[in-house]
Every structure is written in structure tokens, then in C-alpha cells.
Structure 1
Amino acid sequence: MLWVYIISAYVLGTFLTATVVGRLRGIDISKAGSGNLGARNAGRVLGKWAFFSVMIGDGLKGVIVVLSGQALAMTNSVIALALLCAVFGHVYPFWRKFRGGKGVATLVGGLLFFQPWGIVWLVSGFSVVALITRSSTKGMYGAFVVYSMMLLIFEQQSAFFAVIAMAFVVWANKQEVKE
């Protein structure tokens, strides 16, 4: 059951909401704008409705992975590993030649349900850094740093894979900071 859950998390991650939203408008998002299959590019190409649609759809992948792991009575470490696999699937979907999105919404969706107190730390870290830097990307980094610190303090057993997932998303978004 464990491996079925982990592999299913990766496969779920490979479902890219941006491709569906783009097809509804007759546009291949992978060939428009930056070519990235995430919410930001969908928003740039198709508008705010597309941004929010893709963000919610991709975020739900993370929510599904975490809630299904909890329903299956998986440990937090296994759930964090599955969330990492879902994010990895979003960034590197096998059926799209390993070119997907950046993984932010999928990770954030999962983190919101990973720990009950998580939303407080994500929002506070994001708010402080975004207010100082005037950058939502850097705000996201701040959210991940604060969340990582809280996991390392309060949830040490499951922190490893969750922190790796956050570091992976930061790495996948490294180009966004330069813009």
C-alpha cells in the first residue's frame, strides 16, 4: 500500500491544470508566454481567471495527497515524501518530456493541510517578506523558510521530506528571482 500511495502521488502530480485550462481556450500553454505549465504563465497568457483556476487545480493535488495519506493512516514522514513526489511529478511530468510547472501551488496546497498550524506560518512568512521586498516570489521563499523552521522545531520526524520539497520548489523557481 505504501508504494502505491507514493507512486500515485507522483502520477497525480503529473496532471497539469494549465494544459486543461489552455485547451478550454484553444491555446497550448506550453507554447505561449514562458512555456511554463503553471499558474503564473497561464495568468499571463489567459488572464486572472486562468491564474486562479490553475492555482486552485494544482493546489488541490497537494491537498488530495495529504488528505488521502492521512485517511490511509500514513505517518507524517510518508505523507511528506508523497507530497514531495507530487511536486516532483508537477515539475517533471513523464508524459510531457519532464517539462511541467514550478510546483508552488501543489506544494502550498499540501502544506496547508499537512499541519493544522501550517497556514499561520505560511501566511506570516509570506506577508513579512512580501511587504519588505514587494515580491510575491520572495514572499513565497519567506513562507517556506518560516514553515521549515517550525517543522524542524515541532515536527522533526517529518521535517526531512517536507523541507526537501520546499527547497526543491525554491530551486525550480530560481529563475523567477532574477526577473
Structure 2
Amino acid sequence: MVLLLTLTAYLLGNFLPALFIGKRSGKTILSEGSGNPGARNAGRVYGKKAFLLVFLLDAGKGALAVYMTFSLDGRPVVGLLALAAVMLGHCYPIIHRFKGGKGAAAFIGGLLVFNPMGVFPILLGFPLLYPAVRNFTAASVLGTIAIVPWSMWLYDGKTTLIAIFIVGLLLWTHRAALHISIGRKQTR
């Protein structure tokens, strides 16, 4: 059952709404802006409404994966595993040759269903990190590290390992923003 839920969450992650939104305009998100099929690039290429729509749909698939899993298997470890799987599906979708988004919106949606209180450690970390890195994306992604001690406090070791994997995935997919931000800080 766990394998089926995880595979379903991964396949759900393969749905990239930014690819469909741009078809009407004749532009392809993969060759415009940063080339990333996520909400931020959709906003850059197609405008604010597209950003909001893609963000909500991407967050919705993260939320749906976790909700579906909790409905069938209420264990936290399986819920977080579904979140990791939907994020992997979004970042590395098999049906799009493993070229996907960065997973932040799916993470937010899934985390809000998994445990809404999980956003508070991230929100508390952001104001501490932003003055140091002066980059919204970098501060937000680095702030997700706070879910690891939070997970250690509330959950078992297996759940914490999955939390570490999720944070690592976000850091990996946002490595360019982190590199630019940290590199800029060091040169001053």
C-alpha cells in the first residue's frame, strides 16, 4: 500500500500546470524566462495571474498527495513520504524527461496539509536569514532547514530522515539562487 501511495504521489507530481497555461499564448515556458516550468517563471513569462494559478495548482498537488495518503494511511512517516514523492515528481517528472520545476509550491501545499504548524519554523527562520543573504528565494529555501529540528522534536527518526531528504531536495533544486546569493555576499 505504501509503495502504491508513493508511486501515485510521484505521478501526480508529474503534472506541470505551467506547461499547459502557456499553450494559449503560443509561448513555451521551457524556452522563455529561466526555462523553469514553475510558478515564478510562469509569472515572469505570462504575468501575475499565471503565477498565482500555477502556484495554487502546484501547491494543490502537494496538498492532495499528502491528504490522499493521510486518508488511506494516517502515519506521519507515510504522509511525509508522499510529500517527498510529489516533490520528486514535480522536480524530475518522468513524462517530461526529468525536467521539471523546483518543488517549492508543492512543498508548501503538502506541508500545510501534513502539519500547518510546520510553516512557523520556516517563517521564523526567514527574517533571520534574509539580512545575511539579501535574496528572498535563498532566505526562504534556507529557512526550510528549520523543519529538521522541528521534525526531530515531534516525530520519529524515519520521519526526520524524510524531512532531511525534502530539505536537501529543495536546497539542490535552488542551488543556483543559493550560490548567487552566497557568492554575492562574499565579494563585498
Give the C-alpha shift of residue 95 in structure 1: 1.1
Per the normalisation by structure 2, the TM-score is 0.87
Q: 1:24 to 1:121 in 2, by over 3 A?
A: farther
Q: For residue 176 of structure 1, what is the aligned residue in structure 2?
A: 177
Deviation string, structure 1 residues 97-118 (Cα, Å, up to 9, x no partner): 1101011111121112212421
User: Percent identity among equivalent residues?
Assistant: 34
Distance, in Å, in 2 between the alignment partners of 1:116 and 1:48 is 26
Distance, in Å, in 2 between the alignment partners of 1:126 and 1:109 is 18
Q: 1:130 to 1:49 in 2, by over 3 A?
A: farther
**Structure 1 segment 119-138 matched on structure 2, within 5 A:** 119-138=119-138
Unaligned runs of 5+ in 1: none
Per the normalisation by structure 1, the TM-score is 0.91
**Structure 1 segment 101-140 matched on structure 2, within 5 A:** 101-140=101-140
**Structure 1 segment 4-23 matched on structure 2, within 5 A:** 4-23=4-23
- Which stretches of structure 1, 4 residues or more, deviate above 4 A after TM superposition? none
Distance, in Å, in 2 between the alignment partners of 1:161 and 1:37 is 25
Q: For residue 148 of structure 2, what is the aligned residue in structure 1?
A: 148
SS in 2 for 1:117: helix
Distance, in Å, in 2 between the alignment partners of 1:116 and 1:174 is 26
Aligned length: 179
Distance, in Å, in 2 between the alignment partners of 1:115 and 1:77 is 12
Larger Rg: 2
Cα pair 1:9 1:65 within 8 Å, conserved:
yes
Distance, in Å, in 1 between the alignment partners of 2:156 and 2:127 is 25
Deviation string, structure 1 residues 48-100 (Cα, Å, up to 9, x no partner): 22222111111111101111111113311111112111111111111111101
Distance, in Å, in 1 between the alignment partners of 2:142 and 2:31 is 31
Give the C-alpha shift of residue 175 in structure 1: 0.9
Q: 1:129 to 1:3 in 2, by over 3 A?
A: same
Distance, in Å, in 2 between the alignment partners of 1:85 and 1:135 is 28
Distance, in Å, in 1 between the alignment partners of 2:125 and 2:109 is 16
Deviation string, structure 1 residues 141-168 (Cα, Å, up to 9, x no partner): 2321112221122213411112201211
Q: Which region of structure 1 is more displaced relative to structure 2, 82-91 or 140-149?
A: 140-149
Distance, in Å, in 1 between the alignment partners of 2:7 and 2:45 is 32
Cα pair 1:107 1:166 within 8 Å, conserved:
no
SS in 2 for 1:99: coil
Distance, in Å, in 1 between the alignment partners of 2:47 and 2:142 is 26
| Amino acid across the alignment from 2:85 | C
Give the C-alpha shift of residue 12 in structure 1: 0.3
| Amino acid across the alignment from 1:169 | L
| Amino acid across the alignment from 1:165 | I
Distance, in Å, in 2 between the alignment partners of 1:115 and 1:13 is 20
